[in-house]
Amino acid sequence: FQREAKTWARFKHPYILPFYGFAVLEEIRFFLVSPWANMGNCMKYLEDNPGVSRHKLVMQIAEALDYLHSGQAGMAYVHGDLKGDNVLISDHGNAMLCDFGLTRCAEKIASMTQTPSQIHGFGHVRFSAPEILLTSSRPTTQSDVFAFGCLVIQIFSGRQPYSDLETDIQVIIYVTGKRKPGRPKGQDGVEAQLDDDLWSLLDQCLDHEPASRPTIGEVAKRLKGPSNPPKGEMVTISTLKPMCIANVRRRDRSSLEA
């Protein structure tokens, strides 16, 4: 809990959910405090608002991930659990990357001798890179790029990757055959917005060889190309509504960054 809080507190980016602090209730219950995302996660938001720009959300997520990978937070981080549930939507309709429970410093991961499960745990199987599922490789920025490709498929299709496969075991067997998540079908509606140029980029993100995938910085640059909609406005964080919790001992943020 404290590790996640300390990690999250380092991040300052318009498309990352802000960290306000944490609270302890009755000495045994711990809470991380952030702005309330009334719009829910990105999948609920898209279901409720099918006409919004998916390109804008994808670009914002790429920018947030590039912030983590590029060391702008003081060191490079691997998110480790990208999926639709972990992207919330602000009151202004902007993406806010969240859930840093599996996030680790990339340099520390590379130097550790523990097994990947001891270091990192597993994200969702349907968003996990082949090297994570099949060879027990440690999570990397490249595995985040693979997960990003899966997340974009989810955003445009409204379904999880490998949606035609019922179980996670089937997904692992499918990936063992060096097959990738399929392109969402459909000639109209939101699936048709996933055009050939974007799919070509995703196909590179989903390459089975980690070294063949683009960096998320390269992905973000390509998403900003002239064929894509303009960047959305910067997120503005609304003030937390007053709340009262009995017997809560609050600790300010400075204690976390000490």
Rounded mean pLDDT of 107-122?
45
What local confidence, expressed as pLDDT, does residue 9 receive?
Answer: 77
Q: Work out the angle at residue 183's Cα, subtended by the Cα atoms of residues 189 and 202, and round it to the nearest 5 degrees.
A: 105
Cα gap 240→11, rounded to integer Å: 19
Mind listing the pLDDT tens digit for each residue in 62-89?
999 999 999 887 788 899 899 999 999 9
pLDDT one-digit tens code per residue, 191-240: 667 888 999 999 999 999 999 999 999 999 999 976 544 444 444 434 44
Closest CA to 85 of 96, 77, 73, 75: 96
> Rounded distance, CA 254 to CA 80, Å?
26
Span 30-39, average pLDDT:
83
What's residue 31's pLDDT? 74
More confident residue, 157 or 5: 157
| Domain range list for the chain | 38-233
Contact in structure between 41 and 85 (CB atoms under 8 Å): yes
* Dihedral sign from CA coordinates of 215, 211, 154, 138: negative
Phi first, then psi: give them for residue 10, nearest 5 degrees: -75, -20
d(CA 209, CA 73): 27
Q: Residue 122: what pLDDT? A: 52
CB 37 within 8 A of CB 51: no
Check residue 257 and give its pLDDT.
47
Report the alpha-carbon distance of residue 209 to residue 247 in Å, rounded: 52
SS3 state of residue 71: coil
For 154-193, what is each residue's pLDDT tens digit? Answer: 999 999 999 999 999 999 999 988 899 988 876 545 666 7
CB of 149 within 8 A of CB of 206? yes
130: pLDDT strictly greater than 80: yes
- The pLDDT value recorded for residue 191 is 66
Contact (CB, 8 A) for 210 and 140:
yes
CATH architecture under which domain 38-233 falls: Orthogonal Bundle (1.10)
- Residues with Cβ within 8 Å of 219's Cβ and at least 6 positions away in sequence, in order, are 62, 66, 145, 148, 201, 205
Eight-class DSSP state of 24? E
Output the average pLDDT for the chain. Answer: 80
pLDDT band at 108 (very low <50, low <70, confident <90, very high): low
Q: 88, 37 in Cβ contact below 8 A?
A: yes
Amino acid at 170: Q
Q: Which residue has the higher pLDDT, 17 or 251?
A: 17
Whole-angstrom distance, CA of residue 29 vs CA of residue 207: 42
Alpha helices in the chain (DSSP H): 2-9, 42-48, 54-69, 106-111, 116-119, 130-134, 141-157, 168-176, 196-205, 216-223, 254-257
Q: What is the mean pLDDT of residues 35-45?
A: 93
As a whole-number percent, the residues of the chain with pLDDT over 70 amount to: 72
Which is more confidently placed, 12 or 1?
12
Burial label for 247, CB within 10 Å (0-12, 13-18, 19+), is exposed
